[in-house]
């Protein structure tokens, strides 16, 4: 199967200087989610139609390593979704199979759903199938028109009558077309609508008149059909995605004290019986062990892993850091590029000064270390097992604190330990 991703639109309703498909959800562009699912489906040669902000989209694709497999098609003037598909026609010369069309602004669709859609389309031997969804508030979407149950057209909101507007079955914007039928129908659509655009959706009525087999299959979960047209949509989609993740972790044995007030990106792993307190923000790729306590107000950034039984408390930020088992960092701390051994206690207010203005440096702290409150580590620094720092110590750059050593002061010096 082949696929076209539509990503040339101006995204007017976003009121942004950035192309819509490059707006981010948990640090990844909307388009990235679409391409990921396509690759999971085994479609690695998607044609992406770009235009508005095309250079930015292209450089994102390049950075993502999408080339040479992905093909970019330019739509110089955005004359509508139908016109966008016409622009990709050349790439399908000689191709007879099905074409999946996916607007680049719909990142919630799951692979399993698309597989079921493809199965239904093939079972029905349809020439064109649309993935529809039932929306309590259908405003903004194209409506699915049926006569005696049979799907025959899609009516855009602006062109719909009062009665048509009440229809709650809407076009998700995902289609499967037989290649030949698609391009034949596209030759016959006209921009005779309120927006004066060539609507892809008008191909349905054209195909209906030529007696083609048409189907509209409603999505089981309408959430997946949520597109992004405005900042409000973007906020809603982020919320849906975050809730999906939290529900997945809950099902696997993680407690969220306030799920609505917690942010967990996709691609996070959390062990059983860990409790996450409100207002914590956990980025993609983070690994948290079992029996941990996180938050309230913890920010856990990329590249961080936390061992079993650790506590990361209020106003603690972790970045590219590895915490061992039962590490306690309970209050007001920044640990960046740090590696902390098992059973170490990080006192309140501890900071790793990991950035010298040019480069990031590492802080390595051993096992069973006791870090006094308000210690600053000017990285690079290493601290041996069972060492201690006094409250308010500044451990200067390049320091190597030995096993069991006690240091204190500004700059920190070695002290004799009593007993
Ligand atoms: C479209 C559908 C509507 C459906 C909705 C689902 C049409 C006419 N309408 O409306 O029935 O309910 O999606 O979300 O298709 N694009 C281009 N070139 C263009 C215009 C658009 O590449 O000239 C791209 C956009 O970047 C976007 C996608 O096509 O990714 C959809 O365009 P958009 O303007 O968002 O269409 P909707 O108004 O949402
Ligand atoms: Ca849209």
Q: Are strands 143-147 and 150-155 parallel, antiparallel or unpaired?
A: antiparallel
- Domain containing 164 equals 2-225
Hey, whose CA ends up nearest to atom 29 of ligand 1? 6
Q: What is the CATH number of the domain that holds 19?
A: 3.90.550.10
328 pLDDT above the threshold of 70? yes
With a 6 A CB cut-off, is 203 part of the ligand 1 pocket?
no
pTM for this model (two decimals): 0.89
DSSP 154-193: EE-GGG--HHHHT--EEEEEEEEEEHHHHHHHHTT----S
Q: Of all residues in the chain, what percent carry a pLDDT higher than 90?
A: 96
Do 166 and 242 lie in a common domain? no
In angstroms, rounded to a whole number, what is the distance separating the alpha carbons of residues 211 and 350?
72
3-state helix, strand, coil in the chain (%, to 5): 25, 30, 45
6 C-alpha vs ligand 1 centroid, how far in Å?
8
Residues 214, 256, single domain; the answer is no
Among the atoms of ligand 1, which is closest to the Cα of residue 8? 22
Helix (H) or strand (E) holding 34: helix 30-40
At residue 68 the predicted structure's pLDDT band, cuts being 50, 70 and 90, is confident
Cβ(237) – ligand 1 distance below 6 Å: no
Closest residue to atom 10 of ligand 1, CA basis: 141
Instruction: Give bridge partners of residue 95 from the DSSP assignment.
Output: none
195 & 51 share domain: yes
Q: What is the per-residue DSSP string for 57-83?
A: HHHHHHHTT-TTTSEEEE-SS---HHH
Evaluate whether 84 touches 200 at the Cβ level (below 8 Å): yes
Q: Does 252 share its domain with 178?
A: no
pLDDT on residue 67: 87
End residue of a domain, out of 225, 255, 270: 225
Interval 284-309 mean pLDDT:
98
* 110 lies in the same domain as 237: no
* CA of 384 relative to ligand 1 center, distance in Å: 59
Could you give the C-alpha distances from 363 to 334, 354, 366, in angstroms and in order? Answer: 12, 8, 10
Is the same domain home to 198 and 306? Answer: no
Ligand 1: atom nearest CA of 82 is: 15
Three state DSSP letters for 374-393: CCEEECCEEECCCCEECCCC
The pLDDT confidence band at residue 79, using thresholds 50, 70 and 90, is: very high
* CA separation, residue 92 to residues 37, 82, 127, 162 (Å): 21, 15, 17, 39
- pLDDT one-digit tens code per residue, 408-418: 999 999 998 66
Predicted confidence at residue 408, as pLDDT, reads 97
* Phi, psi at 113, each rounded to 5°: -65, -40
pLDDT tens track for 244-253: 999 999 999 9
> Around Cβ 41, how many Cβ atoms within 10 Å?
16
User: DSSP character for 4?
Assistant: E
pLDDT at 419: 56
- 46 closest CA partner among 101, 89, 121, 112: 101
What are 250-291's pLDDT values in tens digits?
Answer: 999 999 999 999 999 999 999 999 999 999 999 999 999 999
Residue 122 and residue 237 in one domain:
no
Closest listed residue to residue 395, CA positions, set 339, 341, 351: 351
Q: In the listed set 193, 225, 257, which residue is the last one of a domain according to the structure? A: 225
Ligand in nearest proximity to the CA of 105? 1
Q: Are residues 325 and 374 in the same domain?
A: yes
Q: How large a percentage of the chain has pLDDT more than 70?
A: 99
Q: Ligand 1 pocket, 363 CB below 6 A?
A: no
Do 167 and 235 sit in the same domain of this protein?
no
**Nearest atom (ligand 1) to Cα of 173:** 6
On whether both 245 and 205 belong to a single domain, the answer is: no
Same domain, 338 and 266: yes
331: annotated active-site residue: yes
Q: Is 8 in the pocket of ligand 1 (CB under 6 A)?
A: yes
> What CATH number should be reported for the domain holding residue 337?
2.160.10.10
Distance in angstroms between the alpha carbons of the first and the last residue of the chain: 74
399 lines ligand 1 (CB under 6 A): no
| Cα–ligand 1 centroid distance for 305 (angstroms) | 40
142 CA to centre of ligand 2 in angstroms: 10
Q: What is the C-alpha separation between 1 and 59, in angstroms, rounded?
A: 26
Closest CA to 131 of 106, 164, 166, 94: 106
Q: Which of 18, 81, 177 to mutate to test the pocket of ligand 1 (most atoms within 8 A of CB)?
A: 81
For ligand 1, atom 22: residue with the closest CA: 8
Bridge partners, 373 (sequence order)? none
Q: How far apart (Å, rounded) are the C-alpha atoms in residues 8 and 62? A: 17
Tell whether ligand 1 has an atom less than 6 A from the beta carbon of residue 4.
Answer: no
**End-of-domain residue from the set 196, 225, 254:** 225
Mean pLDDT over 130-155 rounds to: 96
CA distances from 54 to 20, 48, 67, 71, 85 (A): 11, 10, 15, 13, 16
Pair 366, 341: CB distance under 8 Å: yes
User: Residue 286 Cα, ligand 1 centroid: separation in angstroms?
Assistant: 35
> Which long-range contacts (C-beta less than 8 Å, at least 24 apart) are formed by 268-271?
271/308
Whether residue 70 has its Cβ less than 6 Å from ligand 1: no
**171 in ligand 1 pocket by Cβ < 6 Å?**
yes
137's CB contacts (< 8 A; 6+ apart) are: none
Secondary structure (3-state) at 224: helix
Distance 15 CA to ligand 2 centre (A): 14
Tally of domains within the chain: 2
Q: What is the mean pLDDT of the chain?
A: 96
- Give pLDDT, residue 418: 66
Number of CB atoms found within 10 A of residue 42's CB: 8
- Give yes or no: residues 320 and 396 share one domain: yes
Q: What is the DSSP letter of 136?
A: S
């Amino acid at each position: 199967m082949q696929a076209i991703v539509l990503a040339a639109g101006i995204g007017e309703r976003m009121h942004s200087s950035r192309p819509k498909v490059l707006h981010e959800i948990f640090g990844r562009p909307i388009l990235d989610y679409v391409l990921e699912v396509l690759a999971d489906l085994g479609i690695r040669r998607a044609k992406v139609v770009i235009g508005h902000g095309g250079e930015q989209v292209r450089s994102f694709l390049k950075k993502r390593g999408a080339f040479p497999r992905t093909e970019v098609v330019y739509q110089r003037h955005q004359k509508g979704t139908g016109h966008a598909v016409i622009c990709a026609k050349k790439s399908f010369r000689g191709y007879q199979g099905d074409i999946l069309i996916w607007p680049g602004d719909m990142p919630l669709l799951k692979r399993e759903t698309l597989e079921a859609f493809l199965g239904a389309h093939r079972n029905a031997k349809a020439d064109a199938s649309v993935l529809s969804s039932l929306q309590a508030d259908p405003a903004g979407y194209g409506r699915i028109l049926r006569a005696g149950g049979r799907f025959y057209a899609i009516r855009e909101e602006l062109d719909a009558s009062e009665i048509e507007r009440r229809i709650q079955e809407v076009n998700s914007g995902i289609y499967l077309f037989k290649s030949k039928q698609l391009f034949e129908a596209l030759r016959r659509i006209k921009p005779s609508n309120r927006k004066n655009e060539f609507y892809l959706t008008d191909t349905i009525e054209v195909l209906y008149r030529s007696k083609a087999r048409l189907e509209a299959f409603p999505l089981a979960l309408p959430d997946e059909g949520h597109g992004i047209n405005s900042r409000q949509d973007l906020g809603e989609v982020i919320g849906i995605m975050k809730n999906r993740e939290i529900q997945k972790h809950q099902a696997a044995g993680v407690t969220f004290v306030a799920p609505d007030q917690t942010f967990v990106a996709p691609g996070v792993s959390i062990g059983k019986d860990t409790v996450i307190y409100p207002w914590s923000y956990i980025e993609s790729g983070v690994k948290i062990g079992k029996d941990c306590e996180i938050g309230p107000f913890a920010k856990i950034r990329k590249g961080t892993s936390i061992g079993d039984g650790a506590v990361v408390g209020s106003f603690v930020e972790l970045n590219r850091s590895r915490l061992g088992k039962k590490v306690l960092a309970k209050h007001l701390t920044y640990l960046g590029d740090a590696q902390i051994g098992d059973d170490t206690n990080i006192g309140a207010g501890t900071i790793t000064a990991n950035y010298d203005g040019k480069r990031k440096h590492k802080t390595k702290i051993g096992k069973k270390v006791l870090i006094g409150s308000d210690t600053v580590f000017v990285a690079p620094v290493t601290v041996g097992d069972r060492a201690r720092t006094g409250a308010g110590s500044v451990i200067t750059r390049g320091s190597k604190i030995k096993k069991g050593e006690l240091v204190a002061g500004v700059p920190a010096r070695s002290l004799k330990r009593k007993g």
